[in-house]
Amino acid sequence: MIPQTIRPVIPRHIGPVNPQPVAPQVDRENIIGRIMEHLLYNHECDHDRWKGRPGPEDCEECGDTMPIFIYECRQCRIMACRRCRYNRL
């Protein structure tokens, strides 16, 4: 079972879940396992390094939709709008 906290991160690595995935199921499970392991060991992120990603995407802190771009932490992969990046994280 995949924990709720990492569900938003998985599609960014392997694409959305669909009836006929592009990657074989074994590869998908390996990728999900690596993501879970990475987040288990790096759960105390300082959010020091960010990169911009094109929108539209939803902020994982406040839930607002950012139509043009959003920030993604390079370590823990959380997506945050500008307000949350500078004021909440």
For the chain, the DSSP string reads ---GGGTTTHHHHH----SS-SS-HHHHHHHHHHHHHHHHHT-S-----EEEEES-EE-TTT--EESSEEEEETTT--EE-HHHHHHT-
In terms of pLDDT, which residue wins out, 69 or 7? 69
Phi-psi label, residue 63: left if phi above 0, alpha if psi -120 to 50, beta otherwise: left
* Predicted local confidence at residue 22, as pLDDT: 55
Q: How large is the average pLDDT for residues 60-70?
A: 93
pLDDT at 64 over 90: yes
Return the higher-pLDDT residue of 82 and 30.
82
